[in-house]
Each structure stands twice: as structure tokens, then as C-alpha cells.
A and B are shown apart, each in its own frame.
Chain A
Amino acid sequence: MLTPPGKIKILSEGIANRIAAGEVVERPASVVKELIENALDAGATEILVAVKKAGFDEILVTDNGWGMDDEDLLLAFRRHATSKLDSAEDLLRITHLGFRGEALPSVASVSRVEVLTKRDDRPTGFRFKVDGGKATGPEPAATDRGSSIRVRSLFYNVPARRKFLRTPATEYNHIVNVFRKYALSYPEIKWTLKREDDTVWDFSSSDLRGRIGQMYGEGALSHIHTVEGRTGDMFIEGVVGGGELFRKSRGDQFFFINKRPFISSSLHHAVINGFGPLIHYGQFPLYVLFLRLDPEDFDVNVHPSKHEVRFRDERQAYRTVLHGIRDALGNTIRSGESPVNMPLDKTTDRSSHFKLTPQPHGRKIDGREELDLLFGNRSSSQSRESFGSQTTPVISKDYPYQQNVPKDTHSHSNQSAEHPSTEDHHDSSAQSQSDLAAPLAGKYDPHGETDRLMNSEATVHESTSDVGSVDSSQRINVWQLHRTYILSQVKSGLVVIDQHVAHERILYEKAIDAMKERPWNGQQLLFPVEVELTPDDSAMLEEIAEGLGRMGFDVEHLKGLTWQIRSFPAGIKVKNESKLLKDILRDYRNEHELRLAPEEALAASFACKAAIKKGDPLNLEEMNALIDDLFLTRYPFVCPHGRPVVINLSMKELNKLFLRE
């Protein structure tokens, strides 16, 4: 990706015009950014950034890259000189960071710049100065390989610009943010940040986890989940932080595309959506996510400061992020690696944290036990103790660098990333979650099903147990509410489970499992059911018959558009096999467009259609079985469409509602 040195050219008018015009240098941080990108483009493996008075007095960026010779220098300081673009076609394939060729001349026009640089293949280096547009040099000078660019008295000749700048603390914070982005994006590079000659950070060459450890403290690593995935030709990798690393404000959210930082409200939304009810409104998870995509499939040229990216397929990007996050969290939650913030508990103390104990092979905790574990009445001190070993105090309080930075400045740093829809989130997390799920859910309408309970009597339905059922005397604290929700008392208060989405989550994972590992057994029918399909459905069924077979559906093509169902997944209460099959086919068509893999689409369609519905009465045994099975799933808190499954109302919240002290 890096171009050899000495190829600085003048862009043609055409290219220059195609690049959106705009101020490159808005504030000290933009200078830092441009200089860092130059250093990266020069193939540096060590980069030093030193600022004085938040960059107003001096910004120095030193690298050990290829350097420049006298000719390069002259070209570099002419507007639209860039070594990176040859033609308009090249613009479509931008993989470089500072392609605009505007940076150095723009910086030089509003400051006093001094460059000291030496190319490897030249015996001497050069010094070059520009002072308010007037150049001195290049003249030979003794220096090491690489470039060192010093920018002094920024905006000294633009008093109007100076007026728009914020306090030095804010501007410094912007610089820190720029530095962090690149330090995260290039962990293999040795980075140093100095402020007024004090070393703030000194990061040795590492990998991403290592860099996060350097930046956030080693304790953070135990709350980090690795993200890895792909959708078609789009790859995602990186890390996302669990509950301990949730923030109350933005600032630790990083997106990169082909290593270029960008901000995206819709992808941020995808991350939050991926967390589902594990996170609630007003919390911001830490994430560092790298997308990799063919440069032709996205456009960075939306804004001259290159913060935003337009994707050819926005939905693909959204899905990639969403599923990347879900998979990462799902894996972790089930494997019990790390604590995650308890869903929907708005109390701010940390008594709400839970940790799933890693379970010995072949033995899983039963659902009620698990509920108690999750929502159990652990005291704050206990849970602090239990997590203390994994958490360094510096992480749980503030960012390491924050002692240098006034708190309020955080909110400005990423203001443009504010997503409009997050503004009008309701207080109820359940509501906000279903809003969040909307873009993914598409046509999915969970409440569209006919409400068979026309009269809304507020009876709490408690049924008796079934024939041959296991003894359930010890678990009587389960009720069905309006044939829609399962209520259960847990130590900390009340847990409410949506019966349909809970079952949907269970069936989804079973179906996935059936297709990938253990085929599902099929309850055979005494009277095989014949189904007449439409030509579309029949063709689609041919495609998915094998997958359905592994899920326990034995379907056979008889003739023409007639199919026969001989068995269906054992244990599923199927009222009408042919209707279920048709519903699955119809739903599969929609899901297929939204999901990554056909198996996932099939599993989601099956789960949605075969799951018990709102309005289905459940007896005690069935409710307990549902809870047990729910907590055997990898990701019990979110249904395959992103809706919450479990909501906890703590005694604290209830007491508050009843104005009880």
C-alpha cells in the first residue's frame, strides 16, 4: 500500500476539482492528523508527536520514514501536490491516508513550518522553512533518516480562526483523540506523545490487544471481547468492551475502514443493537473495529476532513458490524469469560453485575438457578470484590490520560457522531431496544400476530403440571401473564420473560446446531401431510429441503407443486404442519436478504414461525422448561431479531415506583 518515495506530482485541475474543497486545517488536531498521515505514508515504524500549548505554540511530528529530498520538498508545499494519486481512476482506489495533497501547503499557509528531512538514498538531509507562505530553502542539513515537521504559531496570521478555537484543554483533547485513533489503528508502530516536553504516552510496538492494554491498562483486557467476522467480501475485526468498559459518554468508540478512521452513526447504532439489552440508553461501549473492504465499495470523499464514509452497500456494513458484535458477545457470555453488565438494570451501582461461572463440560446450570445467579441479590461489596481481581482501579474510574483533560471536553470530541435516533430514545430500555432493532428486523412484526385474548382480563395464569412431568414442586414461582410473559421471582426482584422471543431464541440456536452439528430428530406423522405450493415456494423448498431435513422436517417432492411432510422437529408443538412450512418459506424469503448465511435465515424463519406465540397458554412445566432452555442458549437476552427476551425489575426499582424508601 505504500508508495516508494520521490513520486510527488501535481494533480491535474480535474482531480483537484473532484476532491471536495474545504478547509483542511480547522484546528491543531487537524495538523496533527495530517502530519501523522504523512508519516504513515512514508512507511514510518516510529512516530513521535509533541505538542506545546495544545498545539498553538508548537506541533512536532517526527518519523523514521522514507523522508524527502529537495525536489520532493518543493512539490510537497505546492497545493495539490501529492505523491499518491496519478489520475481520476486512482481516486476510486484510495488506500492511502493523506491523498489530498493539500495538507502541507494548507498548514504552511497558516503557520510557521520547518521541515528537517532526509531520504535514505541521499547522502544529506535538507531543511526547509515556510513562514506565512514565504519559503526558505531547501538547504542541506544534517539529520537522521525520516522527517521531522515542526509547526509553530498556528493561525498567527488568521486571527478569525483563532477566535473559533476552544480552550487549550479542549484542543489538546482533540489532539489526544487523533493520536489514539492512529495508535490503535497501527499498533505495530511505536508511538510517543509528549506534552510540554513531558511524555504522556510511550507505546512500544505491539498488537491490538497489547495496544489496548497500554492505553487503558492491563485490567481492561479481561473485559475485552474479540470481534471477528465477515459478510461477503467485507471483513470485520477488532475488539469490543464488556460491561466494565461501558462509558457514560462517547470517546472510546473507534471505527476504521482499511485502517482509516471514520465515524458512522449508523454503524455505532449497529454496535449498540448488537449489545441488545446488555447495554442501555446512555451507555457507550468501548470498541475498536476495523472493517476491510475493497476500496471500490466505499467512498471516503464525503467530507474533506475525511471523517465519514459512504458504503456502496450500507446494509452489508450494518449487518457485518451487528453480527460481529453479537457473535463476539454471544461467545463470551456462554463461555463465561467475562462479566457483562446486567441487562436493563438502571441502577448505577455495580451490584447488578453478574458473571457466569464457567461450567464443567457436560453440565449446565438449570435456568432458574441461572436466573438467580444473574439477578441474584449480590451485595455491591461482594460483586466489587469478585471483579476486583480483574479490574485495575485506573480503568474503573477514569481514562489514564484524563487527569490531564477536563471532563467536559469529551462530549465535543465526537459530536458529529451523535446519532439522531439516539436523541429520542425512551427511558424504557425495552422500548428503546425494539426501536434499535427496527433497521434489522425489517418486515418482522412480532406483534402482528392476532391477539387471541380479546378480553384483557388481568388474570395471572398458573397451570398445573402435565402428565409424566418431572416434579416441579420446588419451582412454583413462575406465572404466565396474559399468555404473553412469564414472570418469575428472583432474589433481586422480578424477572419478566417474553415467551415468544424466548422460545424463538431457543429454537434458533437449536436449528443452527441441527444444521451444523447434531441433526434434530423428527416426530413422524401417522398421516403424512400433502402441501400444494406456489412455483416460487416449491423452488425455494428444493433449495432448503436438506437444511429442513437436518432440522427434523422430512419433506419429499411428490409431483408438480405437491410436497409431502412426513415428520417435523420433535418436541415442537406444531398445530398445522403445512401452514408452518408455508410460513417458513415466506419468511425465509425476507430473512434471506437480511442474514449472512442461508442457514441463519432458515433458522431464523423456523424459530419465528415455530415458536410459541403470544396467546399460547403454558403450563408450569412448560414455563420451567422454557426458562431452562433459554439459559442454555449462547445468547439468552436477545432474540434473533434483536428484541430483548428478559427484563429484570429489581426490588430497588419497584420500591422506587411505590415511593417506598
Chain B
Amino acid sequence: MRFSTSQSNFIEAFNRIAPAVPSKSTLPILSNILLQLEGNRLRMVATDLEVSVLTEIEVHGQEDGALSVPAKKIGDISRELEGLDLECWMDENNHLLMNAGAGSYKVPGISALEFPNLPEIEESAKVTLSTDKMDGFIRRLTFAVSKDELRPALTGVFFQLRPNEIRGVATDGHRLVRIVDQSFQYDGDPRELIFPVKALEMVRRNLPEEGDVEINIGANQVMIKLEDATLFSRLIEGKYPHYESVIPQNIEDRLIVGTEDLIRAVKRAAIFSNPISRQVIFKVEAEKLEITAEDIELGGQGKEVIVASYNGSPKEIGYNANYILEILKQIETDELRMDVGGTTQAAIIKPTEPAEGEDFLMLIMPVRLN
């Protein structure tokens, strides 16, 4: 293997795949990235065995070949060579040698044969989403997934493909996000997939400015083709809970409040909440929302009053401030709508004006006030 290219070309490609390199791994080879030269195409691959990212760049190729090299070392040195041209080749002892400017470097690598193969996708369905939509789904869903490794299904984002409808759902058992998009072209069989969060975050990082994203769905793997990179991900196996049944249907008590006002009020009140429970109390009555927090042990108290429109009976409901803030941050409209149920019932939070063809709702379970 021997090639030369500009530092910027090389580092850009490197940065696309580097996040897939696991920060800690018991398998040393996973700390490496694969460099593979065929003609003038240099392919770079990183994987943690669940999510793999591949990218290709044009270089000036001289001799085909492949080698895996430590990601950190190659990234660190390439970053420091700004403005220079790199010339790279490998020797018979699996060393990568690099000349740049007045410097020459030697990085010990591992034979490319030891680097894991990319998964093969037996394509059974294919969907195309616009970059915007993909971004919107990922951005609003990933925050709500569970970190409980004992319930793997909840650690991913659940997608349901139906004729002309795609749904994305995420929940950790305390809050839930559901996005239903009906402006979506799909004519295949209904499918349900659970995506690992890491894969979605990698996708979002590599989303192009505009255009489409193509998702090829296999039995337990997906391949997502982006403009500059291709991502492979295992799908999470397991049964996703029947989430529709926990979405309250007939809550009539509706609060309309300014999104930014509410976020600020909750943030301020939460400063006075107990640092562990983070509990804030929403007291709703006609024309106003009062948010209070109290740390009984430390003795602090905070109270915020916001003008709001509310049509129901007065209520007092406790929430975890962190949970509610994360939810509020997903609302992009000036005002939001909160359907406030009973004290043991989830509240529904939505934008006042949903995007066209989209139904976006979030649920939060209250804290039972003893």
C-alpha cells in the first residue's frame, strides 16, 4: 500500500469514522481503523462490532494494499500536519510509514486480515428519508431512551414502518416520545426495527446538508447510505413494549403556555429542588401555572408564576425537573400544549402547531406526591 493525499482530505475522512472507534475495548484490533487502497480509492473503516462506519476518499494511489492502524495515533499525528501533503506506505512488518513536510513517522499496525469484516446485508426492504426528517427524528428521540442494559429493547429507538407512515418511539419508562410522520413514501410490508442509539448518533453526525438518506433493512442489520459514508448497524432484538396503551386518550384539561417562559421558570425553580429528587410541582389553575420547588432538608424554596391558558380544574402534580426540561427542549413552537391528567396519569406535551404531516407527542409520568 502506498498513497499520497492532502492532510485535509485525509483528516476529514478520518473524522467521519473515528467516533465509531470504541473508547475502551477488550479487543485491541477495534482500537484500529482499517485503511484499504484500491487504485485511487482509499477506504477507511471503523467498527465496534455493532456499529461500523465506512468512508472512501480519492487519493493518489501507487500500490494497492491494506493495513489496520491505531486510530488515536493516526488521528493525532494527522491533525498536527495541517496544510501539508501526506505520503503513506506500509512495510513488510505491518508498519505504516508517513512522510509529511520535514517529518517522517512510523506507526505499528496490525494486519488487515485481522480486522473484522463488514456485515453483509440481505436486503429485504429499503426506505428513503430526507435529511431533514432523519435529523428531526434522531434529535427528538434519542434523549428519551433507557440506559438499562437489562431491558435492551428500551435502549434503542423504535421505528415502525407502515404503508405511507413511519413512527419513531423512544421511552425509558418515565417519559416517552412518539413521532408519527404520514408524509412518507413506503409501500413495503409493515416492519418494526429497534435502532441502537449509537448508530443514530453516528448517522446524525454524518448527515449531509441536504438530500436523502437511504436505509437498507436486513434481517438483523441495517445499512444506511449517506453522502460521504456508509453505516452498518446491528438491530436490537427484543419486543418493544406496547406503548400506545399508555398514551392517555381523553384528557380534557389543557394548558397552553409559552415554551421559553416555561423552560426558564422550571430551570429557576429547579435550583431550589432537592438535588436528588429534582422534584418540581406544577400547580395549574385558570390563567396561570405556578411552579414550586422546595428542598425540605436544605430549606430552600422557589416559586414561579406564569400566565397560561388553562381550561380544566385546578391541580397539583409533581414532576422530575430534569425529565421535564429535556422534554421541553424538544418543542420548537413558541407555545406548547400540555394535557394534564390525574396525579397517576401521564401528561401529554406537544407543540401547539405540529409540522405538516406530523404528529409529535411526548409523555411524562408524574411523581406521586405522598
Q: By the criterion CB–CB under 8 Å, are B174 and A632 in contact?
A: no
Q: Which of B342-370 contact A (CB under 8 A)?
A: 344, 346, 363, 365-370
Most A CB within 10 A of own CB, among B174, B276, B296: B276
Given contacts A362-B299, A468-B266, A526-B174, contact A571 B274 (CB under 8 A): yes
CA distance A523 to B173 in the complex (A): 10
Known contacts A575-B148, A628-B275, A632-B297; is-contact A552 B173 (Cβ 8 Å): no
Query: Which of chain A's residues have a CB closer than 8 A to the CB of B370?
Result: 518-522, 550, 552
- Chain B, range 10-39, C-beta contacts under 8 Å to A: 24, 26
* Chain B proximity of A367: nearest CB distance (Å): 10
* Residue pair B279, A570 in contact (C-beta under 8 Å): yes
B176, A526: Cβ atoms closer than 8 Å: yes
Bound Cα distance A628, B297 (Å): 10
Q: A468-B270, A554-B368, A567-B368 are in contact. Are A526 and B277 (CB under 8 A)?
A: no
- Interface segment among B79-87, B93-101, B314-322: the answer is B314-322
Count B-side interface residues using an 8 Å CB cutoff. Answer: 45
Return chain B residues, CB-CB under 8 Å to A364.
Answer: 297-299
Q: Does A466 contact B (CB under 8 A)?
A: yes
Which residues from B are CB-within-8-Å of A524? Answer: 174, 344, 365-368
A624-642 at interface with B (beta carbon < 8 Å): 624-625, 628-629, 632
Q: Say whether, besides A467-B325, A521-B367, A526 and B298 are in contact (CB < 8 Å).
A: no
Interface centre among A518, A524, A550, A624 (most CB of B within 10 A): A524
A576-B24 contact given A364-B298, A468-B266, A521-B370, CB 8 Å threshold: no
Residues of A within 8 A of B246 (CB): 526-527
Closest to A554 in B: B368
Q: Does chain A have a CB within 8 A of B150? A: yes
Alpha-carbon gap, A7 to B329, bound state (A) = 90
B271 interface residue (CB < 8 Å to A): yes
A621 interface hit (Cβ, 8 Å) = yes
Question: Does A120 count as interface, using CB distance less than 8 angstroms?
Answer: no
Indicate the member of B176, B275, B363 with the most A CB atoms within 10 Å.
Answer: B275
Do A363 and B299 form a contact, CB below 8 Å, given A526-B365, A570-B320, A571-B279?
yes
Taken residue by residue from 259 to 281, chain B's Cβ proximity to chain A (1 for < 8 Å, 0 otherwise) reads as 00000001100110011111100
Closest beta carbon of chain A to B298's beta carbon, Å: 6
- B241 at the binding interface (Cβ < 8 Å): yes
Q: Pick the contact of B296 from A468, A506, A518, A566 — CB < 8 Å?
A: A518
Q: Are A632 and B318 in contact (CB under 8 A)?
A: no
Does A450 interact with chain B (Cβ within 8 Å)? no
Check B173 against A525 for contact (C-beta < 8 Å).
Answer: yes
Interface on B for A, CB 8 Å cutoff? 24, 26, 147-151, 171, 173-176, 241, 243, 246, 266-267, 270-271, 274-279, 296-299, 318, 320-322, 325-326, 329, 344, 346, 363, 365-370
Q: List 23 A-B contacts (CB under 8 A).
A: A362-B299, A364-B299, A455-B24, A467-B322, A467-B329, A521-B370, A523-B365, A523-B367, A524-B174, A524-B344, A524-B366, A526-B171, A526-B174, A526-B365, A570-B277, A570-B279, A570-B368, A571-B274, A571-B279, A571-B320, A575-B149, A621-B275, A628-B298
**11 other contacts beyond A518-B296, A575-B150, A629-B297, with CB at 8 A cut-off?**
A364-B299, A467-B329, A523-B367, A524-B365, A526-B171, A526-B174, A526-B246, A570-B277, A570-B367, A570-B368, A571-B279
